[in-house]
Every structure is written in structure tokens, then in C-alpha cells.
Structure 1
Amino acid sequence: MRLDIAGRLTGAALALAALAGALPALAQEQTPFKMNDAKGAQVSPERLKLANELLVANGEGSSFDTLIPGVIEQAAGSFVQANPDLIRDLREVAKQLAPQYENRRQEIVQILARIYAVQFDETELKDLLAFYRSAVGRKLVENRGKILDAGLAGIQAWSAAFSREMEGKVREEMKKRGFTI
């Protein structure tokens, strides 16, 4: 289950990054959510330690376990179109490279830890840790994948029904204008 969640999160992160790059006009029109700048902020070692513990407790630390192998596979796969005959060798190279770069996953965790350490003070981090270490917090982490899957399925069903409803409304309004569609 953890790999499924990580795969979905990785795919979602890559899709969001692509969307952000593809829609600059949309980004200009909307006011982005402003987080405190994590790059230049000074945080205490204790806050960073608590943030790292939080990432373990809430499961986010392992959410990106498949990111590095995925990026390596994508990089190798980018050469397939130019030379499809190399697909098997490119896959082997990707598998060979992945373990060499697995230790870079910690860089991702540190990015997230710094963000948490900037956003939350020490007391808040301790409160979050207490929650995620509680029975209900552990239950949330254990069931997050099922919850997300059920939520997405429900949203897809709602979206399909809403789309049919809107098609009917558009058809009705167009009929008022003398068009049959």
C-alpha cells in the first residue's frame, strides 16, 4: 500500500509541476498561497529534529521513496524515442543507477523538514507529533491511502453526474436560442 501512495504522490507532484509550467497565465491571475520562505529562514536544530520526526510519524518521509527511481527511469526513457532499440539497455541502466542515488532521498526529506520547521514553532511541532503518535493519528496514516482512493472515486462519480447535468442545461439553453444539439 505504501508504494501505491508513494506512486500516486510522486505522480501528483510531477503532474502539478507540469501543470505549473504549462499554465503561467493562470498562475499570474491567481494569488498563490504564501508560505514563509523556508530557504533563508533560520530554524533551531531542535525544530528541524522535531520536523524530521514528524515526517516519519505522519508518513510523509517515505512518501517520496519512489521519486528517485522514477526520475532515473524517466531520464533513461527519454532516450527511447530517439532509439527504440535501446529500451532494454536503458531500463537496465536505470535499475543499475537507482541504488547509487537512493541516498539522495534524504535531500527531499530535508526540504520538507525545513518547510515544517519554518511553518510551525517547537510547541506546534510537538503537538503534531503527539497527534500522529496517538492511536487516531496512526489510524489516519494507516488509512490515508484508502481514504484518498474512496474520496477520489466519490469525486469522479460526482463529476460525471455533474457533467451530465451541465450538458442537459447547456442543451436546454441552446434550445431556447433555436439550436438543437
Structure 2
Amino acid sequence: MFFRPTIRLAALVLATAASAGEPRHGAAPAAAAAPPIASVPPLVSAASPAQLALARSVLVDSGIASSFRLIIPQYLEQIALSVTRTRPEMVPDLNLVLAAVRPEFDKKVDEMIDSAAQLYTQRFSQKELEDVAAFFKSASGRKYVGMQPVLMSDMFVAMQAWSQKISVDMMSRVREEMRKKGHEL
């Protein structure tokens, strides 16, 4: 019953895009096109400790690791909401328990960072990881990471307007073409 925050975020973005383009008067929603995926390089076998450390550095410096860290408080909050919705008398004790178990689960974030680092070493060569790490350590890379929340917010607003316009334009075109075939939508 608990949603994974990363999946929830993706679902929220997709749902927002879809709801911005909600059908009006029987119109069908516009289909979202996925961005093209680059060809996937073959998996590299075993990574050296140096390559794993470099991959971890990329995860930390790029801000990806901090997004893993956000999951723990979100899950704890979901548990609190779920339990206290039906058992409000438990709030004081539950708050103590959640505070007590949080450090245990905060440590588990490193497991995910290690797993992600392993995935990076399977898809990027040592040289590529060095290049990526250098970018994120540069002034431009640090600015890129720092601007991500602002850019995501800006893109969210832009995406809503764009998807609504696309939905309306697409339905208009489909209606026009269906009229040519003798159908009225």
C-alpha cells in the first residue's frame, strides 16, 4: 500500500501531463511519447574498487544520492499517516518509534548508493566516469545540480501548458480528419 516515492514522482509527472490534457467533451487524451533511448552498451563485468568509488562520487556529486536519502523520511511519513488515520491515539508512541528507527533506515541508503554505483560501472567505462565526475565537480556541474529543483519546477509548469495545448490541438486535428470521413466527434 506504500508507494515508492520515485515511482510516485514519475506517476505524478505523467498524471499531471495526462490531466492537463484531459479529454473535453468526449475527446481522447493525447498519448505521451517517450524520449528516444540511446543504444544500451553491453554490461561490463567486474568493477574495480577505484571504479566503484568513482561511480559513488558521481552519484553523490550529481545529486542522485540525495534523492535516495529523501525516500526514508517519505516512507516514515506514509507509515505515520497510515497508522494514525485509524489509530490517532498512537501518535505520541508512534512518533517516538519512528524517530528511533530512522537512523537504522538512514544507513540503508548507502546500500542503494552501492547498488547504483555498481549499475554505473556496468554502463560506463573508467574514462567515462572520470569525465562525468569532472563535470559534476566543475563550476558548471555544481550549478547544473543546484539549478535542478528550479528547472524541474519551471519545466513542470511549461509541460502542463504544452500538454494541454497539444491535447486540444490533437483532438481538433482528429475531429477535422474524422469529419472528412463523414464522422462527427
In the superposition, the TM-score normalised over structure 2's length comes to 0.67
Q: Distance in 2 between matches of 1:58 and 1:42?
A: 23
Q: Distance in 2 between matches of 1:89 and 1:175?
A: 64
Q: Distance in 1 between matches of 2:127 and 2:48?
A: 13
Equivalent residue for 1:165?
169
Equivalent residue for 1:107?
111
Q: 1:66-145 to 2 correspondence within 5 Å? A: 66-79=70-83, 83-86=86-89, 88-89=91-92, 92=95, 93-145=97-149
Q: Distance in 1 between matches of 2:106 and 2:6?
A: 21
Deviation at 1:16, TM superposition (A): 5.1
Deviation at 1:50, TM superposition (A): 0.8
Q: Distance in 2 between matches of 1:105 and 1:72?
A: 14
Deviation at 1:75, TM superposition (A): 3.8
Contact 2:59–2:117 at 8 Å: present in 1 too? yes
Post-superposition, which runs of at least 4 consecutive aligned residues in structure 1 deviate over 6 A?
none
Equivalent residue for 1:152?
156
Equivalent residue for 2:6?
12
Higher relative contact order (CA 8 A, sep 6+): 2
User: Quick one: which amino acid aligns to residue 147 of structure 2?
Assistant: N
Deviations 1:90-144 (A, max 9, x none): 7514344223321111111111111112211211111111111112111111111
How many residue pairs get matched?
154
Q: CA RMSD in A?
A: 3.1
Look up the SS of the partner of 1:42 in the other structure.
Answer: coil
Equivalent residue for 2:69?
65
Deviations 1:31-89 (A, max 9, x none): x9867568xx42111100111111222121212211122223334544456x3445635
**Could you tell me the percent identity over the aligned residues?**
31
Contact 2:5–2:74 at 8 Å: present in 1 too? no
- Runs of 5+ unmatched residues, structure 1: 1-9, 18-31
Deviation at 1:146, TM superposition (A): 1.4
User: Quick one: which amino acid aligns to residue 159 of structure 1?
Assistant: S
CA 35–14 in structure 1, closer or farther in 2 if over 3 Å, else same: farther
